[in-house]
Amino acid sequence: MRRRPDIRQAERELAAQTAQVGVATADLYPKFVLNGSIAVTGDSLNRMTSNLTTTENWALSGGPQIRWNLFDAGAIRKNIEIQSVLQEQALVQYESTVLNAFEEVENTLTAYAKEQNRKESLELAAQAAQQAANLAQQEYQAGWKDFTSVLIAQRSLINLQDELAQSQGTVTANLVRLYKVLGGGWPYGAENEKETY
């Protein structure tokens, strides 16, 4: 079910919001940056380019830089609270999506199983109706019954065969629906594939 697009989207939204809580929390702490620059100096362009291999014309500068929003701690803490609430909402949305997916899978499995049982019963009934139609035909040919009993048996057989065909179509449709609600789209060899997240 993790392949379902709705579950994957809710999971990614939860992960993104969790990362936002981390970003907001990181704003409480100082940030250290190392800056640096290199320059070539000289009184003429010819002299600068001809003496690039010597260090006399080079100027280096650099140093650390510290950034800290010390006076914005209240706003930063408020932002952390907001991001945490948004994370909780994303978690509730994720859980709701998963529960809805489970319900959908359960309903589809139930419908598939019921229709499969109905199809099997109709297959047995159609076999019995075929035997009854054959028997009615034999009794008519032997002169024991009139042709009306043959027509009734054949009508019953045709009705059961029609119901069986409809049931087979419903079973197939339910199987396709089950494939879709489980996420579908498994590539060949998916059983060996490992999740990377």
Q: Considering the domain boundaries, does residue 125 fall inside one?
A: yes
- Assigned domain for 24 exists: yes
Q: What is the CATH number of the domain that holds 76?
A: 1.20.1600.10
What is residue 139's predicted lDDT score, i.e. its pLDDT? 93
Question: What are the beta bridge partners of residue 40?
Answer: 58
The pLDDT score that the predictor gives to residue 30 is: 87
Give the pLDDT confidence score for residue 2 in this predicted structure.
82
Instruction: Indicate the residue type of 29.
Output: Y
- Residue 93 within a domain: yes
pLDDT for 6 equals 92
Q: Report the pLDDT value the prediction gives residue 141, as an integer from 0 to 100.
A: 93
Q: What is the pLDDT of residue 36?
A: 82
**34 falls within a domain:** no
The three-class DSSP label of residue 187 is coil
Closest of 126, 109, 195 to residue 167, by C-alpha:
126
Residue linked to tokens 């706003």: 75
CA dihedral 9, 10, 16, 21 (to 10 degrees): 170
Find the helix or strand (DSSP H, E) in which 6 lies. Answer: helix 5-26
Tally of CB atoms within 10 A around 117: 12
Three-state DSSP class for 188? coil
Give the mean pLDDT per block of 10 residues along the chain (197 residues): 89 96 91 81 58 63 82 90 97 97 96 97 96 95 92 96 97 94 70 53
51 assigned to some structural domain: no
How many domains is the chain partitioned into structurally? 1
Residue 175 domain-assigned (yes or no): yes
Given its phi and psi angles, is residue 149 left (phi above 0), alpha (psi -120 to 50 degrees) or beta?
A: alpha
The Cα-based distances of 197 to 11, 15, 40 in angstroms read 10, 10, 48
Amino acid identity of residue 174, one-letter, is N
**What's the predicted TM-score (pTM) here?**
0.66
Tokens read off for 11: 């999971």
Amino acid at 130: Q
Nearby residues of 48 by Cβ (< 8 Å), 6 or more positions away: 40, 41, 42, 57
Asked whether residue 33 is domain-assigned, the answer is no
Q: Is residue 39 part of a domain?
A: no
Q: Is 32 in a helix, a strand, or coil?
A: strand
Q: Which residue range(s) make up the domain with 157?
A: 5-28+68-183
